[in-house]
Amino acid sequence: MLEIKEIKINYENNPMGLWGNPQFSWVMKSHERNVKQTAYHLQIATDDEFTTLAFDSGKVEDEQSAHIVASGFQMKEATKYFVRVKVSTTAGDSDWKEAFFVTALAGPQSWLGKFVTAETIADKDNAKGTYVRSTFSVNKKVKEAYAFTTGLGIYEFYLNGEKVGEDLLTPGWTAYHKHLLYQTYDITEFLVEGQNGVGASLGAGWFKGTMGFIPRRNIYGDCTAFLGQLLIRYQDGTEEIIATDESWLGHDSPVEFAEIYDGEIYNANKEVPDWSKGPMPAGDWKPVEVVSYDKEVLQPQSNCRVKAIDTMPARKVFVTPEGDTVIDFGQNMSALIEATATGKPGDVIEIWCFEELDKDGNVYLDNLRGAKQAMKYTFAEAKTATYMPKFTFMGFRYAKVVSWPGTPKAEDFIAYAIHSYMEPTGTFECSNPDLNQLQSNILWSMKGNFVDIPTDCPQRNERLGWTGDAQIFIRTSAYLMNVYTFFDKWLTDVAKEQQPNGAVSQVVPDIITGYAGDNWLMSQGTFGATAWADVAVIAPWTLYLTYGDKAILAKQYESMKGWIDFMVDYSEDYIWSFGLQCGDWVALDAEEGSYFGATPEDLLCTAYFAYSTGLFVKSLQALGKEEEAKEYQELYQNVVDKFKGTFFDENGDMTAQTQTSYIVALYFGLVPEGLEEQTIEGLKRLLAKEDGHLVTGFIGTPYFCHALSQNGALKEAYELLLKDDFPSWLYQVKRGATTIWEHWDGIKPDGSMWSADMNSFNHYAYGAVGEWLYRAVAGLEIDENKPGYLHSIIYPRIGGDLEYVEAAYQSIYGEVGIRWEVAEDTVKLRITIPVNTTATVKLDTEQIIEADGLDFVEKNGQMVAEAGSGVYRVVMKR
């Protein structure tokens, strides 16, 4: 039996708010093997009965089941389209499978609404909340209705007293003056016959709130505002538009204060009952002011919005040795706490969020630096109240109860972990419980830091989109979740924030360039840092590998080229360094008191110069830009030759005797011919010097296990992974970590803390080892020549005394999976290959005991087989 399990539209399920001809893909399922698609039939209609077709491909004889574009489809704005697909395969035909999408507005010319605010210039330095509202009448039967909404600041959209949608922190954080997102909602079910109330609740957010470790306010503007446009289609064929304008009214909300870093203060005495319902509510409502804003920068956001994803009830409430009442949620996360208490007028709920207890078991706030992370609610009447902040978020595992009416109990508190909604795609489990906890820690650090942009940390007064962290982690993140939409959105800002000379900022959105204040580090330069700026090339390439979509390379082409050309312009004889380089950030081989690792800047810069140029060449080839590819291939070879001739001495040793120098030379393919064995021996020697421990920072750590396992040192790679004393990944696990730390010694062996100025306990960069768990331990690898797992390479690296490993990745074609299990002198494997794809299975063995129909042949000391789709059970001699 063959079926289509799901249809993806622009990599998402039933997206709301598309513009531009979308891509379609579908996942097929069959119990048979070697199943290939032979034809497909795609239809798009404006009704779910498919009687009014907007596109009909007819039967197309084609194997392609991803990146399908409906050529000739003429999209109309603000329209719900129904999609269905059926396929023919070598295993038979499928039934129709259906999906839908809703289109956004066609462009700036379609916006009739105006940005309106309830604030004045006197509120420039005020972080209060406000309401804006209006009314309209519905006197005919409604067929369908849509709302298109955005804000300057954070907004929540309401109709008739109900919040529309589940989104949080909309419209998110972008380079607002260059790129502002708006959201699309189906509001048909929210409308009532007669008078309707419409409104928005607004907070400062990233737009005008205090942001950055060099604190600044009003970075993008000095007042919050809302833009909304409702389109109502009636059953009689007429339409009506309701849009924000001067007729709307404004009022202060009960939110007296709300900031991203500091939390929220809510005073129930200032509540305005039924403020967003039809009849005019009580209160001192005043006319709004119109805010001038360029609608050319507006773009629709179809999916991947921040939501409350995981519900985390409090584990326990306890009293610390110093007498503080503390809630333990059991998991470090980005979240919002919902608190329920019974109080009387004037009673206060006040809670401070934090990450860790100190060595004596007391509240530890120092690493929050300037961030308060507090929530406060004041009762207006005797009642049981439930309160959760709306215009902030916190990074925490614990919370200190500062004020509470009565005695707080665990059941009074629920935390809702928030992040951009991305479909989970990867699972990894093995026989080692510490590795399973590490996998969990990596995933939770991703969740905690993928709150609209890829941040460094979610707790202190920073939470910025550091490009280096994102570059290091993107391949791991692409195993764990469907990150295409998330990074596509953020890479738009990477390009828009790029300097005219092609340099890429260290943070995106860029709020630090030109604003160093008295911060020495930032005064040295905030763009053009190797491994940070290289995200402009590495991230699009990684998305292309993972999803097989050339569109991301085409979209980011100018940005990629700009960064490569910047390195060319600022290099001398193919060696380059520019401004402030972060280097092997916070490596343990740094000098005492320094953040900068011991590996020389020019070595690291030139290594990345070569690596990114090589990826750019591959990107050009994928885009069919052959002449340009030849030009940059010559550049690539010149940089590689220069690296080899400069950073290896006459004895064949590296000039810099650091772990990271050897790692990048090996992983980036920069070792002179014939010196591969000597170089890996050099790395093993430096590893042994540290008793098998790493002393690497942000640059060396992600590639360490790869550099070892790809060069005949699998045993050493596993030993490194499985170290559980300081410094190591599992040291953190043994210390009870539930996320990845910023520093190997965030909590030192004696229980004391690393310096409080930069000590996040939720910082995903070192979680990049997750890539090695999937690519090497499990062996789920991508074929660059057929990306997106159209052709997979299944190459598990057995070791580490693991009894079993089970991993799977939900690709755009379906599940690619493996389970391997060691049984005395054999290894049993179960391999899953999705329909319409193929795989090469490579096994480190001399004998296949059971092949399950696969034809294994010996190649270079391995047993290799080509496989079509299906599930295979193989047994090999260990």
| Pairwise CA distance, residues 811 & 837, whole Å | 11
Known catalytic membership, residue 742: yes
**In which order are the strands placed within the sheet that holds 68-69?**
2-9, 23-30, 68-69
Q: Residue 842: which of 873, 788, 797, 783 has the closest Cα?
A: 797
Which residues, at least 6 apart from 841, have a Cβ–Cβ distance to it below 8 Å?
794, 795, 831, 854, 856, 864, 865, 866, 867, 872, 874
DSSP H or E stretch at residue 543: helix 535-547
| Pairwise CA distance, residues 190 & 138, whole Å | 12
Distance of CA 312 to the CA centre of its chain: 21
Q: Residue 480: which of 397, 422, 521, 407 has the closest Cα?
A: 422
Known catalytic membership, residue 601: no
DSSP state string for 104-128:
---SGGG----EEES--GGGTT---
The vertex-27 CA angle with 21 and 29, nearest 5°, equals 160
DSSP-derived 3-state class of residue 499: coil
Specify the amino acid at residue 234: Y
Residue 6 burial (10 A CB sphere; 0-12, 13-18, 19+): middle
| Pairwise CA distance, residues 348 & 405, whole Å | 7
| Pairwise CA distance, residues 803 & 810, whole Å | 24
Write the secondary structure of 641-697 as one string of H (helix), E (strand) and C (coil). HHHHHHHECCCCCECCCCHHHHHHHHHCCCCCCCCHHHHHHHHHHHHHHCCCCCCCC
The catalytic residue among 12, 259, 338, 462 is 462
Q: What phi and psi, each to the nearest 5 degrees, are found at residue 607?
A: -60, -45
Decide: 80 and 114 in contact? Cβ < 8 Å.
no
Which residues, at least 6 apart from 645, have a Cβ–Cβ distance to it below 8 Å?
none
Q: Residue 364: which of 403, 396, 337, 392 has the closest Cα?
A: 396
Which residues, at least 6 apart from 578, have a Cβ–Cβ distance to it below 8 Å?
503, 525, 528, 566, 570, 605
The catalytic residue among 742, 771, 781, 815 is 742
| Pairwise CA distance, residues 154 & 458, whole Å | 17
Decide: 432 and 746 in contact? Cβ < 8 Å.
no
Specify the amino acid at residue 609: F
Decide: 351 and 337 in contact? Cβ < 8 Å.
yes
Decide: 191 and 232 in contact? Cβ < 8 Å.
yes
| Pairwise CA distance, residues 875 & 76, whole Å | 55
Decide: 574 and 636 in contact? Cβ < 8 Å.
no
DSSP H or E stretch at residue 619: helix 601-622
Angle of helix 550-569 versus helix 601-622 axis, rounded to 10: 140
98: β partners: 84
* Active site positions, annotated: 462, 742
